[in-house]
Protein backbone atom coordinates (compact mmCIF):
# COMPACT_ATOMS: atom_id res chain seq x y z
CA UNK A 1 0.00 0.00 0.00
CA UNK A 2 1.57 3.26 -1.15
CA UNK A 3 -1.12 5.70 0.08
CA UNK A 4 -0.93 7.55 -3.24
CA UNK A 5 -3.55 10.25 -2.53
CA UNK A 6 -1.57 11.58 0.43
CA UNK A 7 1.28 13.74 -0.84
CA UNK A 8 4.55 13.54 1.11
CA UNK A 9 4.37 12.41 4.77
CA UNK A 10 6.79 9.48 4.42
CA UNK A 11 7.19 8.97 8.19
CA UNK A 12 3.44 8.62 8.97
CA UNK A 13 3.02 6.31 5.96
CA UNK A 14 5.82 4.05 7.20
CA UNK A 15 4.19 3.72 10.63
CA UNK A 16 0.76 2.99 9.15
CA UNK A 17 2.14 0.25 6.92
CA UNK A 18 3.39 -1.46 10.07
CA UNK A 19 0.01 -0.98 11.76
CA UNK A 20 -1.73 -2.59 8.81
CA UNK A 21 0.32 -5.73 9.38
CA UNK A 22 0.14 -5.70 13.17
CA UNK A 23 -1.95 -3.10 15.03
CA UNK A 24 -0.21 -3.30 18.38
CA UNK A 25 -1.61 -0.03 19.75
CA UNK A 26 -5.33 0.65 20.28
CA UNK A 27 -5.12 4.43 19.78
CA UNK A 28 -3.03 6.66 17.51
CA UNK A 29 -3.19 10.43 17.18
CA UNK A 30 -2.32 12.22 13.94
CA UNK A 31 -0.84 15.59 14.92
CA UNK A 32 0.21 18.36 12.56
CA UNK A 33 -0.85 21.54 10.75
CA UNK A 34 -4.24 21.80 9.09
CA UNK A 35 -4.59 20.58 5.55
CA UNK A 36 -1.42 18.50 5.21
CA UNK A 37 -3.05 15.10 4.62
CA UNK A 38 -3.99 13.75 8.07
CA UNK A 39 -7.61 13.01 7.17
CA UNK A 40 -6.72 11.77 3.70
CA UNK A 41 -4.16 9.32 5.08
CA UNK A 42 -6.59 8.07 7.74
CA UNK A 43 -9.13 7.38 5.01
CA UNK A 44 -6.53 5.65 2.83
CA UNK A 45 -5.55 3.51 5.80
CA UNK A 46 -9.19 2.44 6.20
CA UNK A 47 -9.37 1.60 2.49
CA UNK A 48 -6.17 -0.45 2.69
CA UNK A 49 -7.54 -2.35 5.68
CA UNK A 50 -10.71 -3.15 3.74
CA UNK A 51 -9.16 -3.98 0.36
CA UNK A 52 -7.85 -7.35 1.54
CA UNK A 53 -11.42 -8.34 2.42
CA UNK A 54 -12.84 -6.86 -0.78
CA UNK A 55 -14.69 -4.02 0.95
CA UNK A 56 -12.57 -1.06 -0.17
CA UNK A 57 -15.42 0.44 -2.18
CA UNK A 58 -17.71 0.37 0.85
CA UNK A 59 -15.11 2.35 2.82
CA UNK A 60 -14.81 4.89 0.01
CA UNK A 61 -18.59 5.32 0.00
CA UNK A 62 -18.76 5.47 3.83
CA UNK A 63 -20.99 2.39 3.98
CA UNK A 64 -18.64 -0.10 5.67
CA UNK A 65 -20.13 -1.30 8.98
CA UNK A 66 -16.71 -1.57 10.63
CA UNK A 67 -15.42 1.95 9.86
CA UNK A 68 -16.86 4.86 11.82
CA UNK A 69 -16.00 8.53 11.27
CA UNK A 70 -16.75 11.14 13.92
CA UNK A 71 -16.56 14.68 12.61
CA UNK A 72 -17.87 18.14 13.57
CA UNK A 73 -18.91 18.42 9.90
CA UNK A 74 -20.60 15.41 8.27
CA UNK A 75 -18.10 13.43 6.18
CA UNK A 76 -18.62 12.94 2.47
CA UNK A 77 -18.04 9.85 0.31
CA UNK A 78 -14.54 9.44 -1.13
CA UNK A 79 -13.08 12.05 1.17
CA UNK A 80 -14.02 12.56 4.81
CA UNK A 81 -13.09 16.24 5.03
CA UNK A 82 -15.26 18.72 3.11
CA UNK A 83 -13.68 22.15 2.67
CA UNK A 84 -16.39 23.72 4.85
CA UNK A 85 -14.61 21.98 7.72
CA UNK A 86 -11.96 24.72 7.88
CA UNK A 87 -14.40 27.44 8.86
CA UNK A 88 -16.70 25.30 10.96
CA UNK A 89 -17.91 26.28 14.42
CA UNK A 90 -19.35 22.81 15.04
CA UNK A 91 -18.32 20.46 17.85
CA UNK A 92 -18.49 16.75 18.64
CA UNK A 93 -20.87 16.13 21.53
CA UNK A 94 -21.19 13.33 24.06
CA UNK A 95 -24.08 11.73 22.16
CA UNK A 96 -21.69 10.96 19.29
CA UNK A 97 -19.28 9.22 21.69
CA UNK A 98 -22.14 7.17 23.10
CA UNK A 99 -23.12 6.06 19.59
CA UNK A 100 -19.55 4.94 18.94
CA UNK A 101 -19.43 2.99 22.20
CA UNK A 102 -22.59 1.16 21.17
CA UNK A 103 -20.79 0.13 17.95
CA UNK A 104 -17.40 -0.94 19.32
CA UNK A 105 -18.94 -3.38 21.79
CA UNK A 106 -20.00 -5.42 18.75
CA UNK A 107 -17.45 -7.64 16.98
CA UNK A 108 -16.21 -6.56 13.53
CA UNK A 109 -18.29 -7.94 10.68
CA UNK A 110 -16.14 -7.79 7.54
CA UNK A 111 -12.75 -6.37 8.63
CA UNK A 112 -10.10 -7.80 10.97
CA UNK A 113 -10.93 -5.06 13.46
CA UNK A 114 -13.13 -1.99 13.76
CA UNK A 115 -11.70 1.43 12.91
CA UNK A 116 -12.89 4.67 14.52
CA UNK A 117 -11.61 7.92 12.99
CA UNK A 118 -12.23 11.08 15.05
CA UNK A 119 -11.73 14.23 13.00
CA UNK A 120 -10.49 17.31 14.85
CA UNK A 121 -10.79 15.65 18.22
CA UNK A 122 -9.99 18.99 19.89
CA UNK A 123 -13.39 20.24 18.74
CA UNK A 124 -15.09 17.76 21.05
CA UNK A 125 -16.83 19.27 24.05
CA UNK A 126 -15.24 18.75 27.48
CA UNK A 127 -18.01 16.30 28.33
CA UNK A 128 -17.36 14.38 25.10
CA UNK A 129 -13.59 14.26 25.70
CA UNK A 130 -14.11 12.85 29.20
CA UNK A 131 -16.45 10.22 27.79
CA UNK A 132 -13.95 9.44 25.03
CA UNK A 133 -11.20 8.97 27.63
CA UNK A 134 -13.30 6.37 29.45
CA UNK A 135 -13.97 4.64 26.14
CA UNK A 136 -10.25 4.48 25.32
CA UNK A 137 -9.37 3.27 28.82
CA UNK A 138 -11.55 0.21 28.35
CA UNK A 139 -9.05 -1.04 25.75
CA UNK A 140 -11.14 -2.58 22.99
CA UNK A 141 -9.13 -5.52 21.70
CA UNK A 142 -10.47 -5.46 18.14
CA UNK A 143 -10.82 -1.71 17.62
CA UNK A 144 -8.28 0.87 16.46
CA UNK A 145 -8.94 4.55 17.16
CA UNK A 146 -7.34 7.22 14.95
CA UNK A 147 -7.65 10.67 16.51
CA UNK A 148 -6.85 13.63 14.25
CA UNK A 149 -5.79 16.99 15.68
CA UNK A 150 -4.28 20.26 14.49
CA UNK A 151 -4.36 21.67 18.05
CA UNK A 152 -3.39 18.81 20.39
CA UNK A 153 -2.98 21.19 23.34
CA UNK A 154 -6.79 21.42 23.36
CA UNK A 155 -7.08 17.66 23.83
CA UNK A 156 -7.09 16.20 27.34
CA UNK A 157 -3.51 15.27 28.37
CA UNK A 158 -4.80 11.88 29.49
CA UNK A 159 -6.09 11.18 25.97
CA UNK A 160 -2.78 12.24 24.44
CA UNK A 161 -0.82 10.05 26.86
CA UNK A 162 -2.83 6.98 25.83
CA UNK A 163 -2.12 7.56 22.13
CA UNK A 164 0.77 6.81 19.82
CA UNK A 165 1.52 10.28 18.46
CA UNK A 166 2.22 10.36 14.71
CA UNK A 167 3.50 13.77 13.59
CA UNK A 168 2.77 15.22 10.16
CA UNK A 169 5.06 17.77 8.51
CA UNK A 170 4.13 20.99 6.69
CA UNK A 171 4.04 20.57 2.92
CA UNK A 172 6.96 21.71 0.80
CA UNK A 173 6.24 24.22 -1.98
CA UNK A 174 6.34 21.42 -4.54
CA UNK A 175 3.98 19.19 -2.54
CA UNK A 176 1.65 22.14 -1.93
CA UNK A 177 1.45 22.98 -5.65
CA UNK A 178 0.80 19.32 -6.48
CA UNK A 179 -2.17 19.14 -4.09
CA UNK A 180 -3.68 22.59 -4.72
CA UNK A 181 -2.98 22.68 -8.44
CA UNK A 182 -1.91 26.33 -8.25
CA UNK A 183 1.60 27.74 -8.07
CA UNK A 184 1.07 30.92 -6.05
CA UNK A 185 3.87 31.71 -3.58
CA UNK A 186 1.65 34.10 -1.62
CA UNK A 187 -1.05 31.43 -1.28
CA UNK A 188 1.54 29.02 0.11
CA UNK A 189 2.53 31.56 2.78
CA UNK A 190 -0.97 32.83 3.58
CA UNK A 191 -2.29 29.30 4.13
CA UNK A 192 0.55 28.39 6.47
CA UNK A 193 1.74 25.81 3.89
CA UNK A 194 -1.61 24.03 4.23
CA UNK A 195 -3.18 22.71 1.03
CA UNK A 196 -6.53 22.27 2.76
CA UNK A 197 -6.58 25.86 4.02
CA UNK A 198 -5.51 27.13 0.58
CA UNK A 199 -8.37 25.27 -1.09
CA UNK A 200 -10.75 26.63 1.52
CA UNK A 201 -9.56 30.21 0.93
CA UNK A 202 -10.04 29.84 -2.81
CA UNK A 203 -13.44 28.22 -2.34
CA UNK A 204 -14.70 31.01 -0.05
CA UNK A 205 -13.04 33.99 -1.74
CA UNK A 206 -13.22 32.81 -5.33
CA UNK A 207 -9.95 34.03 -6.79
CA UNK A 208 -6.46 35.20 -5.96
CA UNK A 209 -7.33 38.82 -6.82
CA UNK A 210 -9.82 38.92 -3.95
CA UNK A 211 -7.26 37.42 -1.56
CA UNK A 212 -4.72 40.07 -2.59
CA UNK A 213 -7.33 42.83 -2.15
CA UNK A 214 -7.99 41.78 1.45
CA UNK A 215 -4.26 41.45 2.19
CA UNK A 216 -3.75 45.03 0.98
CA UNK A 217 -6.71 46.17 3.11
CA UNK A 218 -5.06 44.60 6.18
CA UNK A 219 -1.83 46.47 5.49
CA UNK A 220 -3.69 49.76 5.08
CA UNK A 221 -5.70 49.06 8.23
CA UNK A 222 -2.52 48.62 10.26
CA UNK A 223 -1.41 52.08 9.13
CA UNK A 224 -4.73 53.65 10.09
CA UNK A 225 -6.90 53.67 6.99
CA UNK A 226 -10.57 54.11 7.86
CA UNK A 227 -11.53 52.93 4.37
CA UNK A 228 -9.59 49.72 4.94
CA UNK A 229 -11.45 49.23 8.23
CA UNK A 230 -14.77 49.28 6.39
CA UNK A 231 -13.38 46.95 3.73
CA UNK A 232 -12.32 44.42 6.36
CA UNK A 233 -15.62 44.63 8.23
CA UNK A 234 -17.47 43.95 4.99
CA UNK A 235 -15.10 41.11 4.07
CA UNK A 236 -15.46 39.53 7.50
CA UNK A 237 -19.24 39.59 7.20
CA UNK A 238 -18.91 37.91 3.80
CA UNK A 239 -16.10 35.39 4.38
CA UNK A 240 -15.63 34.92 8.13
CA UNK A 241 -12.57 32.96 9.30
CA UNK A 242 -10.52 33.39 6.08
CA UNK A 243 -10.23 37.12 6.79
CA UNK A 244 -8.67 36.38 10.17
CA UNK A 245 -6.24 33.94 8.56
CA UNK A 246 -5.13 36.64 6.13
CA UNK A 247 -4.72 39.02 9.07
CA UNK A 248 -2.37 36.61 10.82
CA UNK A 249 -0.25 36.45 7.68
CA UNK A 250 -0.04 40.24 7.26
CA UNK A 251 0.90 40.79 10.91
CA UNK A 252 3.69 38.21 10.74
CA UNK A 253 5.03 39.74 7.54
CA UNK A 254 4.92 43.33 8.82
CA UNK A 255 6.51 42.46 12.14
CA UNK A 256 9.21 40.46 10.38
CA UNK A 257 9.94 43.44 8.11
CA UNK A 258 10.18 45.80 11.09
CA UNK A 259 7.07 47.75 10.04
CA UNK A 260 5.21 46.84 13.24
CA UNK A 261 6.50 47.03 16.79
CA UNK A 262 6.38 43.90 18.92
CA UNK A 263 3.82 45.43 21.29
CA UNK A 264 1.46 46.33 18.45
CA UNK A 265 2.05 42.95 16.82
CA UNK A 266 1.29 41.08 20.04
CA UNK A 267 -1.84 43.13 20.76
CA UNK A 268 -3.31 42.66 17.31
CA UNK A 269 -2.34 38.99 17.10
CA UNK A 270 -4.08 38.28 20.40
CA UNK A 271 -7.12 40.22 19.21
CA UNK A 272 -7.26 38.15 16.04
CA UNK A 273 -7.12 34.98 18.12
CA UNK A 274 -9.96 36.28 20.32
CA UNK A 275 -11.96 37.14 17.20
CA UNK A 276 -11.43 33.65 15.80
CA UNK A 277 -12.51 32.03 19.06
CA UNK A 278 -15.50 34.37 19.23
CA UNK A 279 -16.49 33.43 15.71
CA UNK A 280 -16.23 29.72 16.48
CA UNK A 281 -18.33 30.20 19.62
CA UNK A 282 -20.81 32.33 17.66
CA UNK A 283 -20.39 35.38 19.85
CA UNK A 284 -21.85 38.67 18.54
CA UNK A 285 -19.51 40.96 16.58
CA UNK A 286 -16.29 38.98 17.15
CA UNK A 287 -14.32 41.18 14.73
CA UNK A 288 -14.72 44.16 17.07
CA UNK A 289 -11.94 42.57 19.18
CA UNK A 290 -9.54 43.58 16.42
CA UNK A 291 -10.80 47.15 16.11
CA UNK A 292 -10.74 47.68 19.88
CA UNK A 293 -7.20 46.35 20.17
CA UNK A 294 -5.86 48.57 17.43
CA UNK A 295 -7.67 51.77 18.34
CA UNK A 296 -8.21 51.68 22.11
CA UNK A 297 -8.63 55.47 22.29
CA UNK A 298 -10.83 56.69 19.45
CA UNK A 299 -9.82 60.10 18.22
CA UNK A 300 -6.26 59.83 19.48
CA UNK A 301 -3.66 60.73 16.88
CA UNK A 302 -1.44 58.01 18.34
CA UNK A 303 -4.00 55.26 18.05
CA UNK A 304 -2.60 53.87 14.80
CA UNK A 305 1.10 54.58 15.30
CA UNK A 306 3.52 51.71 14.83
Mean per-residue pLDDT for 33-44? 89
Write down the pLDDT at residue 294. Answer: 64
Secondary structure of 274-293 in HEC code, one letter for each residue:
HHHHHHHCCCCCCCHHHHHH
The percent of residues in the chain predicted with pLDDT above 90, rounded, is 25
User: Can you give the pLDDT at residue 84?
Assistant: 45
Mean pLDDT of the chain: 83
pTM over 0.85: no
pLDDT beyond 50 at 287? yes
Q: How many Å separate Cα 293 from the centre of its chain?
A: 26
Q: Which band of pLDDT confidence, cut at 50, 70 and 90, is reported for residue 154?
A: very high
CA gap 103, 97 in Å, rounded? 10
Beta bridge partners of 118: 70, 147
Confidence check: pLDDT of 131 > 90: yes
Q: State the distance between the two ends of the chain, measured CA to CA, in whole angstroms.
A: 54
User: Is pLDDT at 29 greater than 90 in this prediction?
Assistant: yes
- Indicate the pLDDT class of residue 88, thresholds 50, 70 and 90: low
C-alpha 221 chain-centroid distance: 27
Asked which of 87-96, 178-187, 204-213, 238-247 is least confident by mean pLDDT, the reply is 87-96
Predicted confidence at residue 22, as pLDDT, reads 74
Which pLDDT score is estimated for 146? 94
Mean pLDDT of 58-73: 81
Mean pLDDT of 171-200: 87
3-state helix, strand, coil in the chain (%, to 5): 55, 10, 35
| pLDDT(76) > 70 | no
State residue 165's pLDDT score: 96
DSSP secondary structure letter of residue 299: T
- Rounded mean pLDDT of 235-264? 88
Instruction: Provide DSSP, 103-150.
Output: HHTSPPSSSSSEEEEETTGGGB-HHHHHHHHHHHHT--TTEEEEEEES
Average pLDDT over residues 282-291: 71
Q: What is the CA radius of gyration of the chain?
A: 21
Amino acid sequence: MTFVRTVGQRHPKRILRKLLRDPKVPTVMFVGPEGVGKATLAHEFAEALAEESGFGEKVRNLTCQDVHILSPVPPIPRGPRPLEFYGSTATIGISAIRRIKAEVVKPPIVLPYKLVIVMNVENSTTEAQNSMLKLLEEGWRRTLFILISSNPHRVLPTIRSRSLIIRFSPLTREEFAEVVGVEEPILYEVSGHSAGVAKYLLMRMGRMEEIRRVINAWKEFVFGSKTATLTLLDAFQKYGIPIIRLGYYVLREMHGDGALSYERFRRLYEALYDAEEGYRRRLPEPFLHVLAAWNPHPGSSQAYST
